[in-house]
Structure 1
């Protein structure tokens, strides 16, 4: 793992995302947009086949995409690290089997799934190469893995604004595209199909962006812990300075933009 990253506390990670589960979807328009595009990357299910098709939604969260994924297979599994997320996914009903587990230690036998869908989950892995090895292990020969993940240029405006305030990034750390390619190579995947895109999400005011990050439980999960600051008047003053610093990114149309750098990827396990 890159030396800039701290070890990920998986218990804390599960607790934070689980605590956000009930209101996650209300703050997840970016995640929903990316997942929808990733779905369009996936090939449609064959019109007819004599064999049952099995799929895995890795990092299924609240189960937002499970209904659409269920139309592409006969047997569907949704896996997430956070029990709170799975509890929310269960409320959607449907026929997907929900499993609590870690992407770096998947609780499935070799060659189990025909395809894997994983949107904006793999960036939280401490050992991305291990996660990709696990995905390649559980997919069948000839099976496909479609994923999206965040790259290190994500939310550069947020980082720049906070650094003007107190010199700290207040931002999660993500892999660069070069590091992602290296992780895939270490996992044994030498020819991935990758496409990196800038994804701009508009906001009227900067605090809306902060509320979305907190609302999905993604506020500083894997970044070095920032220096503690006192709350109260001092905390409110810092927030006001941040809001003022973010104003430099207001667009001609009056919107403030938060830019994510997203990589869409497709892998195929050799037959």
Structure 2
């Protein structure tokens, strides 16, 4: 799948998830709340990259004078516009921002970076649009996310059912390659419980997160196969409930001030 087709695929999936997203976004709420503690308030412009339906904008508005929402999905931005919390809503790819250089005071992005084919381009674009002395806080998912779900599926078939996330080493390399960005990294593990694997799969679908796994099995998954996944799931409780782990990385980027 080429880059343009992949981008369109992501936009379609998240567009279809716009109505169910807010109810399912437990992980998003936890991660965004943590990221917000790392964000410095500003009297100027705040750019929310991958803004989704704008559910977090009431809190972000308290950290800035004006808020710009940017998302790949037209449908998600429609929800944002209806809420009227953002000063401006822009449909664009975070890897090629239609924003003037050195025009933004702060950038916020929660759980968007993992859907970008080249996250290093996103970081470069953020550094470009930030004013000197400006900063950005981003959160993304790392390799090892949903490892239990992956292990369970491996006992059932050999198809890829889980999105592939970048390892921490990728971002450590970026940190070394671009020391001028002042990139700081913080990791955490978030555990969420579910009644069963179907509930987990349903939440991922409602979030639009069951998307763009190249080589995934497109055949229908029957009831018996889901039962096998449930049985193979590690660390199940007596009542059948399960726990899923999410490996989260918070990145803080600070652009050097001009001397």
Match of 1:88 among 79, 82, 88: 79
Q: Which runs of 5+ in 1 are unaligned?
A: 46-51
Shift of 1:186: 4.7
Aligned to 2:231: 244
Distance 2:72 2:175 in 1: 22
Deviation, structure 1 residue 251: 4.3
TM-score under structure 2 normalisation?
0.92
SS in 2 for 1:166: coil
Distance in 1 (CA, whole Å) between partners of 2:238 and 2:251 is: 33
Corresponding residue of 2:248: 262
What does the per-residue CA deviation read over 1:40-62, in whole Å, with 9 as the maximum and x for residues that have no partner? 122345xxxxxx51110000001
- Residue pair 1:129, 1:187 contacting (<8 A) in 2 also: no
Q: Kindly provide the CA deviation profile for residues 75-102 of structure 1, in whole angstroms up to 9, marking residues without a partner as x.
A: 2100000001101112212242110010
Structure 2: give runs of 5+ residues left out of the alignment: none
Q: Map 1:114-193 onto structure 2 (within 5 A).
A: 114-186=105-177, 189=180, 191-193=182-184
Q: Number of aligned pairs?
A: 256
Q: CA deviation at 1:235?
A: 1.9
What corresponds to 1:19 in structure 2?
16
- CA offsets 1:196-234 (integer angstroms, 9 cap, x no match): 11110111212111001000111032x2222343x3xx7
TM-score (norm 1): 0.88
Q: Identify which of 92, 99, 104 aligns with 1:101.
A: 92
* Residues in 2 aligned to 1:116 and 1:95: alpha-carbon distance in whole angstroms: 14
Separation in 1, partners of 2:175, 2:112: 15
Contact kept, 8 Å, 1:70 with 1:96, in 2: the verdict is no
What RMSD, in angstroms, separates the aligned Cα atoms of the two structures? 2.0
